[in-house]
Amino acid sequence: MNSGFVDRQQVGRRFSRVAATYGEGDFFVREVDRRMQERLDYVNLQPKRILDLGCSRGGSFSGLAARYPAADLIGLDISPAMLAAGRTPRANWQRWLGIGRNGDPLRLAADAANLPLASRSAAMVWSNLLLHWLDDPIPALAEAHRVLEVGGLLMLSTLGPDTLRELRAAFADGYAHTQRFADMHDLGDMLVGCGFADPVMDMEVITLTYDDFDAMLADLRAAGSACAMKARRHGLTGRNAWETARAAYEGMRREGRLPATFEVIYGHAWKAAPKQTPDGRAIVRFDLPRKG
């Protein structure tokens, strides 16, 4: 995938702007998180440290902590405002006594493509609906592989190419109105290319329905999900363009409702033992015979 398409600063601004009220607009993210958590029922792993990439306000923390109570949780996000909004404030008496934060996840403001963590320092990397906000998923996937210990697990979800297809079709002005979304098979290839073993990919289509066009746009804005592509319109969209798009979207109404399609891609992969040294020499392992 070519670089230079996503406005990284705009992504940060979008999510920082909605940080204080994000809990009222992240219902779709939380639903995908719930479905991801269900997939952990089939995973045999007891991680000591979990890294949540793109954690926003920490909506995945409670589910992960309940499932893995002994694990240390680290949340990383590009938006300091999101991280701050997710912290539970302590009462004055708690601050005076220095209590109330023990066991709270560590929150880091950083870039997913440049993780401030040591190699092999996490047993699981969790990433819910982050990758489509990146210009190129490969550096972030490579960093996830680096920080995972051997035998560690990457669990991810992201959005596929059919996402918001109705919105793209409604506008015919030559500008981008949604993010670029990678194909499921391309993501699988990326995982292999970054050194992951046995990637498993699947997808499902979730269709939300709305009474009207403006309600759909309001939900996208509340979730910080407005387009952050460099090819978006940077000035105001004119009244004629809005009315044309609204009329085109109305033509997609089914059973009295307007659809908004989301193609959700799920994936998981493991970090296997390396087969080569960093300088390219093959690693040959000899298993010692069992005694008795």
Domain boundaries, given as residue ranges, for the chain = 8-160+182-205+263-271
* Alpha carbon 194 to its chain's center: 18
Looking at residue 51, its pLDDT comes to 98
Quote the crossing angle between the two packed helices 213-222 and 239-250, to the nearest 10°: 110
Looking at residue 88, its pLDDT comes to 72
Q: And the tokens for 274?
A: 């390396």
- The low-confidence residues of the chain, meaning pLDDT below 70, are 1-3, 89-103, 235-236, 275-292
Cα–Cα distance for residue pair 289/273, rounded to 1 Å: 20
How wide is the angle at C-alpha 30 spanned by C-alphas 75 and 204, nearest 5°?
A: 115
User: In CATH, what number does 8-160+182-205+263-271 get?
Assistant: 3.40.50.150
Q: What is the pTM assigned to this prediction?
A: 0.87
End-to-end CA distance of the chain: 54
Contact 17, 221 (CB under 8 A): no
Residue 282 CB coordination number (10 Å): 7
Looking at residue 92, its pLDDT comes to 47
Looking at residue 287, its pLDDT comes to 52
Which of 95, 134, 128, 165 shows the shortest CA–CA distance to 29? Answer: 128
Cα–Cα distance for residue pair 263/271, rounded to 1 Å: 26
